Structure 1
Amino acid sequence: MEVKLLNIGFGNTVIANRVIAIVSPASAPMKRLKEDARQANKLIDATMGRRTRAIIVTDSDHIILSGVQAETIAQRLLTEGGVRDVNLLKQAKD
């Protein structure tokens, strides 16, 4: 199985196959989800100090906050150019 990385903004990536949902943080249930994850130590803040614009839910019940719009992340997930192969990243570092 190939591991694909999804760029969630500001140099941060997640494993694309582990993403269950990408949602907007505006609703009250999403705010509760974020707070519950914080209390359970399952919250990862990848906003780099910016406003949260997307919440990413993973299959391990981790919640990842991103400063990039949910629509943008979803588009990156769907387009082949947005999902990167780990082998390409290794080659770039060498």
Structure 2
Amino acid sequence: MQNISAKQRLLNIGFGNFVVTSRVIAIVNPASSPMRRLREDARQEGRLIDSTQGRKTRSIIVTDSNHVILSAIQAETIGQRFIAEETVNE
């Protein structure tokens, strides 16, 4: 097992999928029109990662590499996990 530095902590986004916390720019609700547009643009440009395992998209995670990740976990839940992970690192 590798030693993971504080900058490389992992955020559980559901169903065995993780994102490096330092790469996360935003965690948003997918219901708004701008978020639907963001998802479609990312899909067309090959920047979309679907980690929903066939379930309903409940949050969108935007990374600093301009990738858009779909998750079946509520944005609020992922946000709480993100904050908890950041608190552990302090």
- Shorter-chain TM range is 0.7 to 0.9
- For residue 89 of structure 1, what is the aligned residue in structure 2? none
Partner amino acid for 1:39? Q
| Aligned 8 A contact 2:9 2:85 in 1 | no
CA drift at 1:6: 0.2
Structure 2 counterpart SS, 1:14: strand
CA drift at 1:4: 0.4
Aligned residue among 23, 36, 54 for 2:59: 54
What's the TM-score, normalizing by structure 1? 0.83
| Aligned 8 A contact 2:11 2:85 in 1 | no
- For residue 75 of structure 2, what is the aligned residue in structure 1? 70
In the alignment, structure 2 segments of 5+ residues that lack a partner are 1-5
In the alignment, structure 1 segments of 5+ residues that lack a partner are 84-94
Higher strand share: 1
Q: Which has the higher contact order (CA 8 A, sep 6+)?
A: 1
RMSD: 2.0
**Number of matched pairs:** 84
